[in-house]
Structure 1
Amino acid sequence: MTVSPELRTVGAPRQASPDLLRSVFRRHAAGVAVITAQGDRPVGFTATSLSSVAADPPLLSFGVGTGSSSWPVLSEVEYVGVHILGEHQRELAGTFARSGADRFGHPTRWSEGPEGVPILDDVLAWLVCRVVARVPAGDHRLVIAQAVAGDPAGAGRPLLYHQGRFNALRD
Structure 2
Amino acid sequence: MSLLPAALTVVTTVDVLGRRWGFTASSVTSVSLDPPLLLVGVNRTSSCHDAFVSAQEFVVNVLGEQHRAVAAKFAAHGVDRFAGEDFADWPGTNLPHLPDAHAAYRCLRHEVMAAGDHQLLLGALTGVLAERPGRPLLWYRRTFHTPR
Tell me which residue corresponds to 2:147: 169
Alpha-carbon distance in structure 2 between the residues aligned to 1:116 and 1:128: 12
Tell me which residue corresponds to 1:109: 86
Where does structure 1 differ by over 3 angstroms across 4 or more consecutive aligned residues? Answer: none
Superposed CA offset, 1:81-110 (max 9, x none): 11000011100100111111211111x101
Check if 1:38 corresponds to 2:14.
yes
Tell me which residue corresponds to 1:126: 104
Question: What RMSD, in angstroms, separates the aligned Cα atoms of the two structures?
Answer: 1.0
Determine which of 67, 74, 84 is the counterpart of 1:89: 67
Q: TM-score, normalised by structure 1?
A: 0.82
Letter paired with 2:70: L
Deviation, structure 1 residue 121:
2.4
Percent identity of the aligned residues? 34
Superposed CA offset, 1:125-165 (max 9, x none): 00110010000112210110011011123121100000101
Structure 1 residues not aligned, in runs of 5+:
1-24
Letter paired with 1:133: E
Higher relative contact order (CA 8 A, sep 6+): 2
Tell me which residue corresponds to 1:64: 42
Tell me which residue corresponds to 1:136: 114
Letter paired with 2:88: S
Q: Which protein is richer in strand relative to its size?
A: 2
Superposed CA offset, 1:66-91 (max 9, x none): 11011111121100011000011100
Does structure 1 conserve the Cα–Cα contact (< 8 Å) formed by 2:136 and 2:146? yes
Alpha-carbon distance in structure 1 between the residues aligned to 2:76 and 2:119: 20
Letter paired with 1:33: T
Structure 2 residues not aligned, in runs of 5+:
none
Letter paired with 1:147: L
